[in-house]
Each structure stands twice: as structure tokens, then as C-alpha cells.
């Protein structure tokens, strides 16, 4: 496979398409930025697709080109890890609508200027369809596994529902098969923060080179709270003050937690496009796999031969265990082979990205059994 | 790997190639044996997260859940055999659980410690204390066993829920005991039931 330009880090491909979206719109061409690790076995049986979360990217186990930070899932992916390039052919692609090289609102439309809000509204299933096009291009027929946390888990579920014949197993971590009213509500706060920023300019801010950074930072701050837990925030910051002995009787970041959130917001805008944030949060809000299958989530998986592994975390209130149990119940009703475990963690939704030996043990055991 | 004696007795009752749900499957030892020895398609339910992780790491399909609350998730007739080993006495509503077993599965295998065993009787009769035996090793205030019963109690329960007894094995110190004296001499019982 060496010498084949399709494989390796930091790849980009322009696929002719057209890709027909859930909205009815068509997208052509479709650009996808992706990375591959390891080599596809002769019988093609060792391919694993990793799906990233809302603000994630294709750099699952390689340094981020802007921040220089290590890949976002090096605890799960790498030599000696459950997903191992020595054994697996690993693909991770930037989702449709994002801003790390795949087609999204910042991409150029046929008229030569950025799509901005002319980019069609997409769904989680549209992201999955684009990934399927990429796998066709890479010569991958069937996946040994599709693995994802959070929005990545939603894609894994949609993969199993949309292409049951191409997915031998699915690992769904800290995720859900629908967005709840609370999930939508938090996303709407983020979107309104972006659109209320005068620099947003109806989405046409690319030419001015002055994006709605303040609005996007606030969106990130609100969202970041949902990724943590009260317990975690209390342990990390409590009511401790930031670099001062007493409160300032003003509106500086008196508290460490304020300072932390501001930092999260500011560093986020350096690497993410505000319009992409609008489009991807919308895609997540539109997810309701039961509604898409006659009101019964089980119908999405009826007769499936895919094996499922569902994992939740005790302190995750963004996609709580009840949402995972709902998936498991549907899979049982559909007669699917499913494993489920709720793991103990104080770190909230973000637990799936952190050091979690039990998670690695479960995923490793599950994937080895599938192989 | 050798199976615990009571699990071996259960394994012997399961037809090869059948679909089995093991409720309270622990780390999946019985499921793994059934899969490897009899080509059984096994699923499990287990309350303890650590045991679920261990079972999944064995390649088994196990869902973290509770016999009292989660059996309703399974459709009727989903399995050939549903196993409930050493768990009935720890459920909140054993009668309801038994109904669920025989709704989900065409047959059920239920094992439990016999509270009619002579050591148990003697412990209360002579000692005046709650019994602690090999089969019941935990103090009364710490035991998860909130609904202990004797073998005759179980027979009565099965009859009252319309379950037919297709077979039974009784064990004392891992040795077989005849059915006639089982209520007095057996430490453990394994029943094979079907809908009556």
C-alpha cells in the first residue's frame, strides 16, 4: 500500500458525487479530509472507521496542525491500544459540514466564494453517507468496526442502520440515538451566541477576515459546561479565585472556573469555524433515529447481524445512561447482539476522551472478539 | 477451564445450538462454556459493571442490567432457554421474575440455595440464629438474599405460576441428592421449567 496516495496522514480527496442529502439537496463535488493508519489486510477484514465528535477532526492519533496537540484519541488509538495500526486499518475522516478540510460552509461554492449559509443543512446520516463514499474510494467494503464517542457514536448507530451489510460491529460510547429537548436547548444557546455577534454578518464573514470570535467563544463556553460534571468542576475549581486574594467587585474573571471557560472559548475560535458550529449542531439536533424509522428505534436495527457495544458513564448528563439504555432496549427488541456497560467516572461526558482503563478493556475485548 | 459444579449441572441441561439468555451471568463463565462446548448463542445480563466488562472482554454479549427491572426489554419467545442461577433469592419480586423468564424463554433453568436444608433448620432450631452455611456464607444484615426459599417452597411457587417442572437436580457438597429427600438434604437445587 506504500506509495498509494490514498493512504496515510493528512489526506484529501475530491469525490465527484453527487451526494444526495436528507434535505433533498445535492452536493457535488464532495471534499473529504481524512487520515489512515495501518494497512488494509489482503482480505480487507481489518478496517475500522473512527467517527469524531462535534468539534473533533480527522487527526485521531496524529498532532493537530493548528494547535500542535497530540491526536484527540491517542488513549484509544495507537500501538498497543485497543485500536492498533499494527493490527487494524484505521480510517478517520473530518465530517461533512466541518472545517478541517471536508466540505462545509467555509468551502468554496461553484461561484468561487465560500458557501457560508448557502451550504445545505446536513444530518448525521449525511455525514455517514459521505464516509461511505470515502470508503468506496479507499477500496474498503466491510468495516470490522465503526467506533465513536458522543456525535461519533451517533454516526456509528447511523452506519449500522444505513449500511447494515457493511458494518460487522459498532462501538457507541457516551452517545444517544436522538437529541433531547435539553440537548437542543444548549445547542440553541450556542447558535444564538454566534448569530448575535455583529461580526457574524449573516454568515458572510469570510471575506472580511474578521470572524464572530466572541460569539463562537461563548458558544464553546456554554457547551463546555455540558461536557463536564458538577462534581468534576467542584473538584477542579471549587470557588477558588484566579490570581487574587479577594473578589474584585467587578467583572473580571475573579473565579478560576471563569478563567478556565474563557480560555476554552478563546482557544477554540483559533481552530474552528463559526458557521461549521451552526451546521454540525443542527445536524445533531435533527437526530431522532426512532422518528426516522416509524417511531420505533428497534426498526432501525431489525434483522441486523451487526454486533453492538454500548458504553455510558455515570456522571455524563449530556448523554446520560438512560439514553444508552434506550438504545440497548431497542437492540434487544430487534434481536441484535448487544453488550452494554455503564462505567464509573467523575468526569462527565468528556470521560470517553480521558484516561479510562475500563473503557479500553471493554473496547479491546469487544473488538478482539469481533475479529 | 472447569466450571463450578452447579454451573456444570445447568450446562448439561442446555440443548446444543440453542439460544440462551443468562440472567445474572457474572463474568460469563457459564456463557463461555456453553458457547465453546455446545455452540450455544448466548446473551447475558449482569448487575456488576466489573463483571460485565470481564464478560465483554471474553467476546460475550452482556448487558448491564437488573433481573427485577430489565427483563421486560426482551420480546416474548426470544430465547430457547433462560437461565437464572443463584439469583432468584436476591430479586425483589421472585414470582414476577419467574413469569418473565417463562415469557422470554420457552424454558427456564433456575438454581438457588435450599433454605430447607437440615443445617439451616438446625441453625435456627438449636442455635436460634440466622444460618451461615457454605451456600449461605453472609451475615443476615449483609446478605443480598432477601427472598430465600426451600425446595418445596419453590415447587409450590412454580405450580402457582403455571410452570411445569421438566427436570430437577439436587446437590449437597457438590454431590447429587435424590429428589425424595432433597428438601432436607440438598444445599442447592437446579430446576428445569417450561410453561405449563
ipTM: 0.86
How close does chain A come to B44, measured CA to CA in Å?
A: 8
Give a three-class secondary structure readout of B9-35. Answer: HHHHHCCCCCEEEEECCCCCHHHHHHH
pTM of structure = 0.93
Which tens digit of pLDDT belongs to each residue from A208-239?
Answer: 999 999 999 999 999 999 999 999 999 999 99
Spell A157-167 as b/e; 16+ CB within 10 A means b. Answer: bbbbbbbeebb
Preceding amide of B135 cis, omega within 30: no
- Is A316 known to be catalytic? yes
Residue A324 annotated in active site: no
Which residues in chain A land under pLDDT 50?
1
List the catalytic residue out of A98, A150, A229, A315.
A150
Indicate which of A308, A331, A340, A344 best probes the interface with B, i.e. most B CBs within 10 Å of its own CB.
Answer: A340
Contacts 24+ apart (CB under 8 A), B118-125: B118/B184, B118/B185, B119/B187, B121/B184
* Ramachandran area for residue A238 (φ above 0: left; ψ -120 to 50: alpha; else beta): left
Exposed e or buried b per residue across A206-237, where buried means at least 16 C-beta atoms within 10 angstroms of its C-beta = beeeebbbbbbbbbbbbbbbbbbbeebbeeeb
pLDDT value at B174 more than 80: no
Closest CA in chain B for residue A327? B73
Yes or no, beta carbons of A365 and B73 under 8 Å apart: no
The residues near B2 (Cβ < 8 Å, ≥ 6 apart) are: B8
Using an 8 Å CB-CB cutoff, list chain A residues near B60: 339, 369
Closest CA to A12 of A35, A36, A33, A37: A33
CA–CA gap between residue B116 and residue B90 (Å, rounded): 17
pLDDT score for A227: 96
> Please, are residues A271 and A217 in contact by the beta-carbon 8 Å criterion?
no
Indicate the SS3 state at residue A117: helix
Question: In the predicted model, what is the mean pLDDT of chain B?
Answer: 93
Q: Which of A175, A273, A349, A350 is catalytic?
A: A349
Contact partners, residue A106, CB within 8 Å, separation at least 6: A99, A114, A115, A116, A206, A273, A275, A276
pLDDT tens column, A14-59? 999 899 999 999 999 999 999 999 999 999 999 999 999 999 999 9
Q: Is the pLDDT of residue B3 over 80?
A: yes
Binary contact (A366, B64; C-beta < 8 A): no
The mean pLDDT of B28-37, rounded to a whole number, is 96
- Would you call A41 a catalytic residue per the annotation? no
Q: Which residue has the cell 420505533?
A: A296
Burial of B178 (0-12, 13-18, 19+ CB in 10 A): exposed
Q: Is residue B141 scored above 60 in pLDDT?
A: yes
Q: Using the beta-carbon criterion (under 8 Å), do A341 and B73 form an inter-chain contact?
A: no
Q: What angle do CA A67, A69, A70 make, to 5 degrees?
A: 145
Amino acid at each position: 500500500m506504500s506509495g498509494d496516495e490514498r493512504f496515510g496522514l493528512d489526506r484529501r480527496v475530491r469525490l465527484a458525487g453527487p451526494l444526495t442529502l436528507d434535505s433533498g439537496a445535492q452536493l457535488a463535488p464532495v471534499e473529504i479530509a481524512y487520515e489512515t493508519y495501518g494497512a488494509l489486510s489482503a482480505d480487507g477484514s481489518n478496517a475500522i472507521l473512527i467517527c469524531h465528535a462535534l468539534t473533533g477532526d480527522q487527526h485521531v492519533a496524529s498532532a493537530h496542525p493548528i494547535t500542535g496537540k497530540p491526536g484527540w484519541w491517542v488513549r484509544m488509538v495507537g500501538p498497543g491500544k485497543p485500536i492498533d495500526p499494527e493490527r487494524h486499518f484505521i480510517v478517520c475522516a473530518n465530517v461533512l459540514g466541518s472545517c478541517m478540510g471536508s466540505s462545509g460552509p467555509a468551502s468554496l461554492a461553484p461561484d468561487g466564494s465560500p458557501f457560508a449559509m448557502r451550504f445545505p443543512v446536513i444530518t448525521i446520516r449525511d455525514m455517514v453517507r459521505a464516509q461511505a463514499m470515502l470508503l468506496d474510494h479507499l477500496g474498503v467494503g466491510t468495516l470490522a468496526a465503526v467506533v465513536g464517542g458522543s456525535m461519533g457514536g451517533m454516526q456509528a448507530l447511523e452506519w449500522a442502520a444505513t449500511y447494515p451489510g457493511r458494518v460487522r460491529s459498532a462501538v457507541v460510547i457516551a452517545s444517544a440515538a436522538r437529541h433531547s429537548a435539553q440537548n437542543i436547548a444548549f445547542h440553541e444557546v450556542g447558535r444564538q451566541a454566534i448569530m448575535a455577534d455583529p461580526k457574524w454578518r449573516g454568515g458572510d464573514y469570510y471575506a472580511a477576515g474578521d470572524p464572530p470570535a466572541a460569539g463562537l467563544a461563548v458558544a464553546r463556553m456554554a457547551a463546555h459546561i455540558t461536557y463536564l460534571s458538577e462534581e468534576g468542576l467542584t473538584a477542579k475549581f471549587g470557588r477558588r479565585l484566579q490570581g487574587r486574594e479577594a473578589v474584585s467587585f467587578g467583572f473580571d474573571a475573579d473565579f478560576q472556573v471563569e478563567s478556565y471557560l474563557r480560555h476554552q472559548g478563546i482557544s477554540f475560535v483559533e481552530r474552528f469555524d463559526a458557521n461549521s458550529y451552526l451546521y454540525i449542531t443542527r445536524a445533531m439536533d435533527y437526530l431522532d433515529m426512532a422518528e426516522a424509522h416509524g417511531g420505533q428505534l428497534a426498526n432501525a436495527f431489525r434483522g441486523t447481524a451487526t454486533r453492538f457495544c454500548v458504553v455510558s458513564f455515570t456522571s455524563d448528563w449530556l448523554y446520560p445512561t438512560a439514553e444508552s439504555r434506550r438504545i440497548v432496549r431497542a437492540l434487544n427488541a430487534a434481536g441484535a447482539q448487544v453488550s452494554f456497560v455503564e462505567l464509573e467516572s467523575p468526569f462527565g461526558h468528556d470521560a470517553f476522551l480521558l484516561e479510562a482503563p475500563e473503557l479500553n478493556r471493554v473496547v479491546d475485548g469487544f473488538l478482539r472478539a469481533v475479529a | 477451564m472447569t466450571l463450578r459444579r452447579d454451573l456444570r449441572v445447568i450446562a448439561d441441561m442446555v440443548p446444543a445450538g440453542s439460544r440462551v439468555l443468562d440472567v445474572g451471568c457474572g463474568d460469563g463463565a457459564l456463557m463461555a462454556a456453553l458457547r465453546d462446548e455446545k455452540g450455544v448463542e448466548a446473551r447475558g445480563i449482569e448487575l456488576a459493571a466489573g463483571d460485565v466488562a470481564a464478560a465483554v472482554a471474553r467476546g460475550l454479549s452482556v448487558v448491564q442490567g437488573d433481573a427485577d427491572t430489565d427483563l421486560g426489554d426482551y420480546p416474548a419467545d426470544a430465547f430457547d432457554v433462560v437461565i437464572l442461577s443463584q439469583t432468584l433469592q436476591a430479586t425483589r419480586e421472585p414470582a414476577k421474575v419467574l413469569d418473565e423468564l417463562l415469557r422470554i424463554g420457552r424454558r427456564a433453568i433456575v438454581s438457588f440455595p435450599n433454605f430447607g436444608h437440615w443445617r439451616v433448620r438446625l441453625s435456627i432450631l438449636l442455635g436460634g440464629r440466622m444460618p451461615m452455611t457454605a451456600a449461605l456464607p453472609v451475615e443476615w444484615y449483609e446478605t443480598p438474599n432477601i427472598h430465600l426459599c426451600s425446595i418445596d417452597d419453590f415447587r409450590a411457587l412454580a405450580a402457582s405460576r403455571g410452570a411445569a417442572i421438566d427436570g430437577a437436580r439436587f446437590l449437597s457438597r457438590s454431590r447429587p441428592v435424590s429428589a425424595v429427600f432433597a428438601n432436607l438434604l440438598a444445599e442447592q437445587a437446579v430446576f428445569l421449567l417450561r410453561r405449563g
